[in-house]
Amino acid sequence: MKNICLAFMLICGTLFLSAQNISNEITQRVIANISKNSQIPKDLVTKGVNQTAALWTAEDGTPEQFVQFCTDNFCKNTTEKQQLFNRLCQNFESILGHNNRVIIDLSLPIHVTGYQQLPIDELFAAYNGLAHLNNDMFANKIAFIITLNFPHFTLAEKTQNAAKWNNNEWGYARLGDMFTSRIPAEIEQAITAATTAADNYISNYNIHMGEVVNREGQRLWTKNIKLISHWGLRDELKAAYADANHGLEKQQLIYTIMNRIISQSIPKEAINGSEYPWKPSSNKFVLPNGIEMIYGSEKNVRYQYLLNNFKAIQASDAYYPGNSTYLTRRFDDDLEISLPEVEKLFTTFLSCPEVATVADLISKKLGRKLEPFDIWYNGFKNRSSISEYDLDRITQKKYPTKEAFAEDLPNILQKLGFTKEKAEFICSHVTVDASVGAGHAWEALMRSDNARLRTRIGEKGMDYKGYNIGIHEFGHNVEQTFSLHNVPNYFLAGVPNTAFTEALAFTFQQRDLQLLGISAVDTISRYYDILDNFWSCYEIMGVALLDIHVWQWMYAHPDATADELKEAVIAMAKEIWNLYYAPVFKIKDQTILAIYSHMIDSPLYLPAYPIGYLISFQLENYFQNKNLGTEVERIFSQGKLIPQYWLQKAVGGKLNTTNFSRAAADAAQKVKAFEKAEKKNKKG
């Protein structure tokens, strides 16, 4: 799923850039004066003074006051600088950590079960106590002390200095990322309100499958099954591969529902339960007397939430230097991999011939031509031969409550290779909650707080879907714990970007059956895992590319309506499908890439997933014949370095798609040979 510290993301790299108030003549005078009395290298003096001058406004003081401020507050030597850095680490951990905890507590009624939801809950969840932090930090001059002594370095500069910097210098650079522009608090608050509203919409978007009927009016699901869009629908579609009787029909029904959500032709009455059975094929409800009736559609609610997020975020663009957009900042500043580089990675992977090789193998295993929903084929997993019902029975018996799951987390870690002591340490910093939505992991921002693991736990206990998501989220929690408690300093806490935490979550998730004692340890399992991850990466990469194209379109059409946005999303989904999927699936103009809920409630989060798969492959490749617990701790204790340098130190290589594609081709050959031999043995 995702790290949900939106408030922290809004802090780092935000605020307003006003007209220059300090002349070049004054900055040169300040630089000369400081250099005479400071042991700090002149290039750092120059960078710090210039960046501070660029942010200084008339409201902050006169030019002479600027001169005096810089003279008084620039560190005279490395000892003073280190002392200042240590105090800033301590104080910002307190500020960010406690405010993060407030956000967690205020969001409980909309994120966690057991609360009666009230209209005021969404308002409290949208409240951001850090909204005025940037203004406050500039008003009391703390931000200027930071920009003066710990200037910002561009991605190019960080790349150039990566191997030269020690842990302290990396911490200094990350502190320098905090105050690079100035955004009004009301705009930050508007962004929080928009994303919270979208998150609430998605978290409560469920389809009651017991009310879904086929063309003949028959129910294929029991009454108590409700599935959240898109996660629950997708996972149910995946589970249906193990249903020899009704699996294909269930998948086709779910696919029809998904397309109705995308087109917004889904009736409002079909969302979160309906009074009468709903027939997705005709989009009608079946009344008790047998008459079929049409109800009003949801219209364009889905796309209005997406548009609201865009408009709220776009309003902050004017306060950044260099005419940047959220689209460019997301890649250059957040992911720290440029957008052109990411798009090249994605299109190269989507176009590779190995995709067709794996698709042909899937078609043969299914004994039919591929359907569009086979982008979610999961027959490379051992679970494909086990019914969802049997898996549910196993997990519900093992984990009847959230407490039972929490109690077993240390055992889970020990099965993965962590020592008992390390497992207990990690679990002492993780709190388990029963989630209203599909589930997520929420990081702590101070060492005295706990990371949150959230997944769905029903009245009968944790079903397999909830367990699978729970293991994924636990991977996030392990990363969050190591990257907060083990890093050299507070400003290095975390990982390079969200793709890296997703990578470890994937590593945990693909071992879910092994942790239940189901998957066998054999020589062929690894090849199945490679194919499974390769196909999953192929699926999500198209979705991520669509997310990028949607944001590019919104920036090109800032005055678009929700209806126009809907038509554009559908057109772009078809275009990407026709380019990269139609040649494999032999069917054109499919819109299914637009179903992902992340696109609506998590602005431009989706590109992190395919990058995560690529990283996950490189990590998994590296983990072979090594102790997972030991290596995970070493790798995720490096801190927030830039991505390519982090990977180089972690596994000895940079991000690429070639090795993954080659491994998939090799795995396909080995699986074909293995299954052919198995078939021959059965006949014999």
What per-residue confidence (pLDDT) applies to 382?
55
What per-residue confidence (pLDDT) applies to 334?
87
Task: Please classify residue 26 by burial: count the beta carbons closer than 10 Å to its beta carbon, then call 0-12 exposed, 13-18 middle and 19+ buried.
Answer: middle
Weakest mean pLDDT among 135-144, 515-524, 590-599 = 515-524
C-alpha to C-alpha distance for 140 and 132, rounded to whole angstroms: 12
The three-state secondary structure class of 204 is: coil
Do residues 633 and 422 touch, judged by C-beta distance below 8 A? yes
Reported as a pLDDT band with limits 50, 70 and 90, residue 498 is confident
User: Does 6 have pLDDT greater than 70?
Assistant: no
∠ Cα 524 530 534 (to 5°): 150
What per-residue confidence (pLDDT) applies to 197?
96
- Per-residue three-class SS string for 308-371: HHHHHHHCCHHHCHHHCCHHHHHHHHHHCCCHHHHHHHHHHHHHCCHHHHHHHHHHHHHCCCCC
Kindly state the helix (H) or strand (E) to which residue 284 belongs, with its residue range: strand 284-286
What per-residue confidence (pLDDT) applies to 183?
82
Kindly state the helix (H) or strand (E) to which residue 440 belongs, with its residue range: strand 439-442
User: Does 5 have pLDDT greater than 50?
Assistant: no
What per-residue confidence (pLDDT) applies to 502?
87
User: 520-567 pLDDT, tens per residue?
Assistant: 556 788 899 899 999 999 999 999 999 999 999 999 999 999 999 999
Distance of CA 667 to the CA centre of its chain: 28
- Bridge-based pairing of strands 451-455 and 430-434 is parallel
With b meaning 16 or more CB within 10 Å and e meaning fewer, what string describes 32-69? Answer: ebbbeebebeeebbbbbbbbbbbbbeeebbebeebbeb
User: Does 251 have pLDDT greater than 60?
Assistant: yes
Q: How large is the average pLDDT for residues 272-298? A: 93
Q: How large is the average pLDDT for residues 462-473? A: 95
C-alpha to C-alpha distance for 493 and 479, rounded to whole angstroms: 10
Residues 106, 112, 114, 120: is their CA dihedral positive or negative?
A: positive
What per-residue confidence (pLDDT) applies to 83?
98
User: Does 18 have pLDDT greater than 60?
Assistant: no
User: 72-120 pLDDT, tens per residue?
Assistant: 999 999 999 999 999 999 999 999 999 999 999 999 999 999 999 899 9
∠ Cα 184 188 192 (to 5°): 165
Tell me how far CA of residue 664 lies from CA of 129, 230, 584, in angstroms: 48, 27, 16
The three-state secondary structure class of 217 is: coil
- Which of 9, 562, 5, 571 lies closest to 305 in space, CA to CA? 562
Task: Please classify residue 684 by burial: count the beta carbons closer than 10 Å to its beta carbon, then call 0-12 exposed, 13-18 middle and 19+ buried.
Answer: exposed
Task: Please classify residue 326 by burial: count the beta carbons closer than 10 Å to its beta carbon, then call 0-12 exposed, 13-18 middle and 19+ buried.
Answer: buried
Integer-rounded Cα Rg, in Å, for the chain is 26
User: Does 124 have pLDDT greater than 90?
Assistant: yes
Tell me how far CA of residue 289 lies from CA of 54, 276, 296, in angstroms: 73, 11, 20
The three-state secondary structure class of 497 is: coil
User: Does 384 have pLDDT greater than 60?
Assistant: no
Phi, psi dihedrals of residue 454, rounded to the nearest 5°: -125, 130
- Which of 273, 98, 103 lies closest to 189 in space, CA to CA? 103
Give residue 604's identity as a one-letter amino acid code: L
User: Does 35 have pLDDT greater than 70?
Assistant: yes
Would you state the structure tokens that stand for residue 155, as one six-digit string? Answer: 């991605």
Q: How large is the average pLDDT for residues 476-497? A: 97
What per-residue confidence (pLDDT) applies to 20?
59
Q: How large is the average pLDDT for residues 206-210? A: 96
Reported as a pLDDT band with limits 50, 70 and 90, residue 269 is very high
Do residues 176 and 146 touch, judged by C-beta distance below 8 A? yes
Kindly state the helix (H) or strand (E) to which residue 64 belongs, with its residue range: helix 63-73
In this prediction the pTM is: 0.79
User: 330-370 pLDDT, tens per residue?
Assistant: 998 889 998 999 999 999 999 999 999 999 999 999 999 99
pLDDT averaged over every residue in the chain: 92
C-alpha to C-alpha distance for 328 and 598, rounded to whole angstroms: 19
User: Does 169 have pLDDT greater than 60?
Assistant: yes
What per-residue confidence (pLDDT) applies to 519?
64
DSSP state of 619: H
Do residues 597 and 205 touch, judged by C-beta distance below 8 A? yes
Distance of CA 441 to the CA centre of its chain: 10
Distance of CA 203 to the CA centre of its chain: 15
Kindly state the helix (H) or strand (E) to which residue 261 belongs, with its residue range: helix 247-263
Do residues 660 and 652 touch, judged by C-beta distance below 8 A? no
% helix, strand, coil for the chain, step of 5: 65, 5, 30
User: Does 623 have pLDDT greater than 60?
Assistant: yes
Would you state the structure tokens that stand for residue 95, as one six-digit string? Answer: 């500020």
User: Does 383 have pLDDT greater than 60?
Assistant: no
What per-residue confidence (pLDDT) applies to 188?
84
- Which of 551, 129, 558, 62 lies closest to 318 in space, CA to CA? 558
> At a CB cut-off of 8 Å and minimum separation 6, what does 347 contact?
545, 580
